[in-house]
Structure 1
C-alpha cells in the first residue's frame, strides 16, 4: 500500500508537464490505479487495489475556478505545459481561469480526463508511455 509520503516524493520530481509520463510510471510502480486532482486547492484522491484510498492535503491557497469554460484557451495552455513551458502552479492557475475543475487519471486506460464544474468531460488524452 502506498503512502502520502510516497505520493509527495513522486510529485516533487514534476517540474512541468514534460515530466508527467515519468510521474505516472512512478505512481503505477507504487500501486496507484487512479487519482483525481482538484484545481481549486490542488488536493488529490489516490486509489489503489483493495479499496485503498488516500487524500492529500491542499497544495496551495484556493483558486477561483471560472464558471465559464474556455476550452480552446485550456488546450493551448495544456500544450504549453506539456512542452515544459510552464510550471505546475501556472498550469493550475490556467486551468482555473479556463473553467477546469479537476482531472482524473486512469492507470488502466492510461488516460487523463479534464472536467468542468458541472461534471462535463472537456478533454481526454492518452498518457504517453
Structure 2
C-alpha cells in the first residue's frame, strides 16, 4: 500500500505535483521526483506527448488531469525503439531538458508513457498502442 502523506485522507493536488516537478531540471533528477509524488499517493500517471497533458491516478480510481502544456504536435507514425533508447540515455544523463526529451520522443513515434509507481516502471507506447520499451525507474538519489 502506498503511504499517502496528506492529512485526513485528502487526495493529492495538481499544485503539490507542480511543486515537486519544479525541482526537476533533467532526467537525472527524475527518480527524486517520482519518489516525492509516490509519497503523495500517486500510483500511476499517463503523459501524452501530443499536447503534454498528464493524467495522475491514485487509489480508489482517483484521477486528476493536468492541462496541455503546449500546442498540439504531430506524433510520428513510425516508431523506433532503438532511437528511443538513445534519447533516453542522453536525457537520463542530464544532457537534455524535459521539453527537448518530449519533442525528440514525439519525433521518433512515442505517443505517451505510463509510469507505474507500484512496479516502479515506465512504459513507452506508440500511436498503435504497442509497447516500445519498459524500463525500471532507478531508486531516488536523496
If the TM-score is normalised by the length of the shorter chain, which range does it land in? over 0.9
What SS does structure 2 have at the residue aligned with 1:29?
helix
Structure 1: how far apart are the matches of 2:26 and 2:52?
15
- Please, which of 1, 11, 24 is the counterpart of residue 34 of structure 2? 24
What is the 5 A alignment of 1:91-106? 91-106=101-116
TM normalised by structure 1 equals 0.97
> Residue 128 of structure 2 corresponds to which residue in structure 1?
118
The answer on 1:39 being equivalent to 2:32 is no
Greater C-alpha radius of gyration: 2
What does residue 59 of structure 2 align with?
A: 49
The residue aligned with 1:6 is 16
| Runs of 4+ more than 4 Å apart | none
List gaps (5 residues or longer) in structure 2: 1-10
Q: What CA distance in whole angstroms lies between the structure 2 residues aligned with 1:8 and 1:45?
A: 13
| TM-superposed deviation, 1:106 | 0.5
Query: How many pairs does the alignment contain?
Result: 129
- RMSD over aligned CA atoms reads 0.8
Partner of residue 128 from structure 1, selected from 128, 134, 138: 138
* Consecutive unaligned residues in structure 1, runs of 5 or more: none
Q: What's the CA shift for 1:51?
A: 1.5
- Give the 3-state SS of the residue equivalent to 1:103 in structure 2: strand
